[in-house]
Amino acid sequence: MGHNHEHSHSHNHNDMKDKNLMISILLNIVITVAQVIGGLISGSLSLLSDALHNFSDVISLVVSYVASKLSKKEASEYRTFGYKRAEILAAFINASTLIIVAVILIKEAVIRFQNPQAIESNLVIFLALLAIVGNGFSVLLLKKNAENNINIKSAYIHLLTDMLASVAVFIGGMLMKYYQLFWVDSLLTFLIALYLIWMGLDLLKTSTKMLMLFTPEHIDIKELVVDVGTIKNVKLLHHVHIWNLSDDELHLEAHLDLEEDVSITEFDAVLCEIEAYLHKKYDINHVTIQPEFNKNDSKDIIVQD
């Protein structure tokens, strides 16, 4: 049995990621407080809905920050993987909150659409611009990290959708100011909610698959087994499990039928070749293999444990 495990992020990179999260948290607290006060004064539901979304941003960013910190904690005899899956759990929570917030907004939008109210549009426009600038800056801070970390991606999507929502609120404010189209406030709230659901469901689906230890979508296990079978002395890779422990760790464990009854040293050479191949083609960086020779067990690729 062997394993190979690589870390792809430096301490400096993680520290910068956490610093950017903290800046985004502080910015969104300021925006949320300003929008709640402004929404109550102006009577704008879309502004209050944007504030609610911003508040969910604050929660999601705090969850992401805590998860990021936890993921760095060392493993122990009681937590052999440490808290590496905390970031996936954070992404699941954040995706769920996006959808919950959206449902609340839809309900409020329908009620307000039936009873449109006059709104102080100047305040709406000013606070929408404030949110666009603040969230836009936060989006830029997290964009790079969001490309390879599902936890940061969940926070990034919260901020990006909120920035777009603020753009919609700004446009609505302009229409209310110059054309007195106050029903636009409810329509924008409804559209913002639909967008939140669309973004949230995709992230919820991805994080759920990772929590359930499903095989990553980019990997075809049957093709992988055939590929490994071309390596010298390999007869059959079977009883295969492949899953994401975290964004940085992709694990494979399997049984390996060998053509010959080799020594441990000879098996290690085969294992090294398999590890290198799997890492290069499939980005699998943690391999655990049980070597076998003429063992009477199931040779199916997938075996129900």
107-124 mean pLDDT: 78
Query: Going from the N-terminus, what domains does the chain have, and what CATH number goes with each?
Result: 11-211 (1.20.1510.10), 221-292 (3.30.70.1350)
The token duo for 276 is 């290198």
What count of residues does the chain have?
A: 305
Q: Which of 163, 166, 174, 189 is CA-nearest to residue 122?
A: 174
Distance of CA 154 to the CA centre of its chain: 4
pLDDT in tens, 11-70: 566 778 888 899 999 998 998 899 889 888 888 777 777 787 778 778 888 988 999 888
pLDDT in tens, 94-105: 889 888 888 888
Which residues of the chain form beta strands (DSSP E)?
234-244, 250-258, 286-292
Characterize the bridge pairing of strands 286-292 and 250-258. Answer: parallel
**pLDDT number for residue 100:** 87
Q: Kindly give the interhelix angle for 45-70 and 121-146, rounded to the nearest 10 degrees.
A: 20
Tell me how far CA of residue 184 lies from CA of 29, 103, 189, 281, in angstroms: 27, 19, 8, 51
**pLDDT number for residue 165:** 79
The answer to whether residue 248 scores a pLDDT higher than 50 is yes
**pLDDT number for residue 1:** 55
The answer to whether residue 3 scores a pLDDT higher than 60 is no
Distance of CA 250 to the CA centre of its chain: 16
Q: Which residues make Cβ contacts (< 8 Å) with residue 212, sequence separation at least 6?
A: none
**pLDDT number for residue 241:** 97
pLDDT band at 84 (very low <50, low <70, confident <90, very high): confident
Higher pLDDT, 30 or 199: 30
Q: Are 286 and 249 in contact (CB under 8 A)?
A: yes
Q: Which of 246, 190, 196 is CA-nearest to residue 94?
A: 196
**pLDDT number for residue 167:** 85
Q: Could you give the percent of the chain with pLDDT greater than 70?
A: 95
Q: For residue 233, is it left (φ>0), alpha (ψ between -120 and 50) or beta? A: left
**pLDDT number for residue 10:** 47
Encode 89-123: b = buried (16+ Cβ within 10 Å), e = exposed: bbbbbbbebbbebbeebbebbeebeeeeeebbbeb
The answer to whether residue 243 scores a pLDDT higher than 60 is yes
- Tokens 């007869």 locate to 235
The token duo for 209 is 């698959």
Q: Contacts from 72-80 at CB under 8 Å and sequence distance 24+?
A: 72/14
Q: Are 65 and 18 in contact (CB under 8 A)?
A: yes
pLDDT in tens, 267-297: 999 999 999 999 999 999 999 999 999 999 9
Q: Contacts from 215-218 at CB under 8 Å and sequence distance 24+?
A: 215/242, 215/243, 216/242, 216/243, 216/244, 216/250, 218/282
pLDDT in tens, 154-191: 888 878 887 887 888 888 888 888 888 878 878 887 88
Encode 29-48: b = buried (16+ Cβ within 10 Å), e = exposed: bebbebbbebbeebbbbbbb
